[in-house]
Structure 1
Amino acid sequence: MMNKMIRDICREYTHLSECEIEKIIEVSKSLDLMANLYNSDVFIDVLSKDKNEAFVVSHAKPKNKSLYKEIVIGKRALDENEPGVIKTLNTGITTRDIKALTQECKVVSQTIQPINLNDKVIAVLIVEEELVLKSVAVREAHHRVKNNLQTIISLLRKQSRISNNEEVKNCLDNITNRVFAILSTHHLLSKEVNNNISILSAMNLLVSNIQGGYCDNKEINICIEGEDFKINGEKATALLLVMNEVIQNCYDHAFEGRERGNIKILVNKEYDYKNIVVIDDGIGFQEKYVNEESLGTYIIDSYIKQVLKGSIERDSNEKGTKISIKIPSTN
């Protein structure tokens, strides 16, 4: 019965030869095994005559749970809903973890492998996972990491409060702010369905923590402006650690002898780069007096160059300091 359905669909809607159809039937015999192995729905799709859509010719469901309630064999897979399927059918390039919309309007992640005969793509093998379920699990993981980091921050703050050594207190406070920079990423990721977060949301969260941590009675205004962009979790953590050091340097050194000051953070994206500029109206510094061996300088320079693959420029005089960070848009 299944073999007949495959033949009928291929003969009506494709240009496949009888030999190619037999090859597809042969592969379809292993579909049940693959479905249970991957614990996912597995399909074979073939390209239609006009090459803008595909047809499902075989479908195997896992024993535990299928994403499908109805029979989808013989139904169309459109390019706008399943772009990876059409791409692989036309190019022969394997497509992994690409978002798609099923015939039953569920958002899934597809991995698509070409089925070849005599160096020609005759069909594709598709393994699907429901993206929502996967995202929920990832968000839960970020939520647990966030809670663990909050516990660490609470312990560090308590230790700082009971310490009588100012140097130790300062060290613990700096560590606390660095942990919070990491926590900020996981807090935002725990609310997202993918691994990307808003850089403006992340900056605002970080700045709020820094402002709340300083009690020296100085009036420091921080303004964040610019065009928002998304950044993935790993890069976001690195960038927030860098920004934490830059902003803390402003608080600690830019306004010595002053009661007030201003810090402006400008965010924008170009075609090739994303830019973050931090400008203060403080007393400035001389480049030669920057401690290259300090932990803060190490975090700034190493994370920008090694993790973000970007660059940093420092420009300072008696009217203030400008720190310009540039990272590739591919991040």
Structure 2
Amino acid sequence: MKEEIERLCQKHTDLSRKEINYIKQISLSLPFLADTEEADVFINCPCPSGDSVVVAQAKPRNASSAYRKYILGMFARRLNEPAVDRTLRLGCATRRMKALNQENVPVIQVATPIRYEGKTIGVLTYERFADGWEDGQPFHELFGGVGRNTECDAEKCAARTDWEWVVNCIEEGIILIDCKGFVIFRNAIARQLYKRLGYMEDILGQEYRNICLDKMDMEREAFTEELQMGRYSLRIRKIPDPMEGVSFAVFVSDVTHIKNQERELVLKSVAVQEMHHRVKNNLQTIVSLIRLQVRRIENLQAHELLEETADRIQTIATTHQLLAKKGIDWVSLQEVLGVIADNAIRANKPEQKEVSISVAGKDCMVNSNLATTIALVVNELIHNSLEHAFVGKTKGSIRIRTGKEMDLYGTVSVEDDGRGFDVSRPGHLGLNIVEVLVKEKLRGSLTIASNKNGTHTSFGFQI
């Protein structure tokens, strides 16, 4: 049998030598499994065409076989043997699915995936006769006496046309199961969903234990859970005794698109985090280069200008550092301003002066562009206060306050209790930078009021 398996796999499949050897090992147990289960047992391996080929077979010695001869090398067509096809496509087991074998005999199939290093390389299939199935008889009449000779609750349920249109419009699969464990109703969404999961025939009239997706006990109470079937993510809810004649109802939702979006968000978060981390590193490299240059400059004015430039770049880097930690493109405005305030105190605190900076008000989330611009503006305002407002004083305070109006408009104010300045005089470079950033980048307005008791500066921006 081993030589035949290798020949068939090399001829009809793309399996590697290691995968073929693994199939050979599995095949050694087929005779034992056939006798134990009293069923025909096969190994099917996938072909590039989408069908599968039978590479190993064993017939039961103590029970009737559904095959007159051996079918090694024959192809299992997707429509004829849906259990094999479903298991190959989804990589999960399929229980008691009806099929037509290669000799056109109706059988019941149980298929289990054969995996090697995480890849489905074949299917181990058990087959038995589908006793009692007559030519032309619908598949859903095969089991449990649910058919032409038995009164079925499905007929009663199908007569409820006054509400059936409603459940067919719901974007959730609905299945009703009677006290005998048979499916007596399924809406259009459930029919389509099960078809995508590989159940080619209608589930109406089948035993629920043959088509249940969560392997649950039939006596299990109400529950909600999520499970993965191949590439599909499903959410399942069970409700016991929902109405007369119904043992329990099962609601199935395909949430694959939601899970895919969640995965995409995670990947995007990682990408955004890495982007901000790299920007932060590059900016800090620039700051280091500027400060190295500062040490070589003897001109005091040039020295101060370069230090201010390095400080502004460091402010941008600090914002990107916060965004890198969050892994998203939005960040708390108060968190950004708190870090800016701490850095400003450490870098610019005048000697022998006690100056405190506080951040309060209504917080809001801002994107990276807004966060960077606002951080630059506030950094300039804090720097100006620390440098000019407290001359002749031993202590002082700077209060930063944030606000938000209807989630559309944000405000920031910076107020100190310093000596004030003449607002009408031509502005310092720092104030010129503030005015340009507020008007050009934030599309807002800047207000400055100052007297001998201090300076109050405020600006707004669109969130």
More helix per residue: 1 or 2? 1
C-alpha distance in structure 1 between counterparts of 2:433 and 2:235, whole Å: 52
Aligned pairs for 1:297-316 within 5 A: 297-316=431-450
- TM-score computed with the length of structure 1 as normaliser: 0.62
Provide the aligned C-alpha RMSD in A.
3.3
- 1:108 corresponds in structure 2 to 261
User: Contact conserved, 2:396 with 2:417, CA < 8 A, in 1?
Assistant: yes
- 1:254 corresponds in structure 2 to 389
**Change in 2 beyond 3 A, CA 1:146/1:317:** same
- Deviation of the 1:177 alpha carbon: 1.3
- Deviation of the 1:162 alpha carbon: 3.9
- 2:323 corresponds in structure 1 to 189
User: Contact conserved, 2:228 with 2:234, CA < 8 A, in 1?
Assistant: no
C-alpha distance in structure 2 between counterparts of 1:140 and 1:158, whole Å: 27
Q: Tell whether 2:205 aligns with 1:205.
A: no
C-alpha distance in structure 2 between counterparts of 1:281 and 1:252, whole Å: 13
User: Contact conserved, 1:210 with 1:248, CA < 8 A, in 2?
Assistant: yes
- Of structures 1 and 2, the larger Rg is shown by 2
User: Contact conserved, 2:279 with 2:320, CA < 8 A, in 1?
Assistant: yes
Q: Which runs of 5+ in 2 are unaligned?
A: 1-77, 83-166, 174-188, 197-226, 237-253
**Change in 2 beyond 3 A, CA 1:70/1:204:** same
User: Contact conserved, 2:420 with 2:452, CA < 8 A, in 1?
Assistant: yes
**Change in 2 beyond 3 A, CA 1:157/1:73:** closer
User: Contact conserved, 1:180 with 1:206, CA < 8 A, in 2?
Assistant: no
Instruction: Provide the aligned length of Structure 1 versus Structure 2.
Output: 235
User: Contact conserved, 1:107 with 1:132, CA < 8 A, in 2?
Assistant: no
Letter in 1 for 2:315: A
User: Contact conserved, 2:398 with 2:417, CA < 8 A, in 1?
Assistant: yes
User: Contact conserved, 1:53 with 1:76, CA < 8 A, in 2?
Assistant: no
Letter in 2 for 1:254: A
- 1:278 corresponds in structure 2 to 414
Q: Deviations over 1:28-67 (max 9, x none)?
A: xxxxxxxxxxxxxxxxxxxx843566968798xxxxxxxx
1:242 aligned to which of 361, 364, 377: 377
User: Contact conserved, 1:226 with 1:268, CA < 8 A, in 2?
Assistant: yes
Letter in 2 for 1:257: G
Aligned pairs for 1:33-182 within 5 A: 49-50=168-169, 70-71=229-230, 102-103=255-256, 106=259, 108=261, 130-182=264-316
> Which stretch shifts more, 180-189 or 150-159?
150-159
**Change in 2 beyond 3 A, CA 1:52/1:144:** same
Q: Deviations over 1:81-137 (max 9, x none)?
A: xxxxxxxxxxxxxxxxxxxx944973626xxxxxxxxxxxxxxxxxxx622122212
Q: Which has the higher contact order (CA 8 A, sep 6+)?
A: 1
**Change in 2 beyond 3 A, CA 1:289/1:105:** same
**Change in 2 beyond 3 A, CA 1:228/1:74:** closer
User: Contact conserved, 1:281 with 1:320, CA < 8 A, in 2?
Assistant: yes
SS of the counterpart of 1:190? helix
Letter in 1 for 2:417: D
- Deviation of the 1:216 alpha carbon: 3.0
Q: Tell whether 2:452 aligns with 1:318.
A: yes
- TM-score computed with the length of structure 2 as normaliser: 0.46
**Change in 2 beyond 3 A, CA 1:325/1:76:** same
C-alpha distance in structure 2 between counterparts of 1:208 and 1:215, whole Å: 10
C-alpha distance in structure 1 between counterparts of 2:306 and 2:423, whole Å: 27
**Change in 2 beyond 3 A, CA 1:74/1:188:** closer
- Deviation of the 1:73 alpha carbon: 6.6
Q: Deviations over 1:278-311 (max 9, x none)?
A: 11011112221142xx542332122212222222
- Deviation of the 1:252 alpha carbon: 1.7
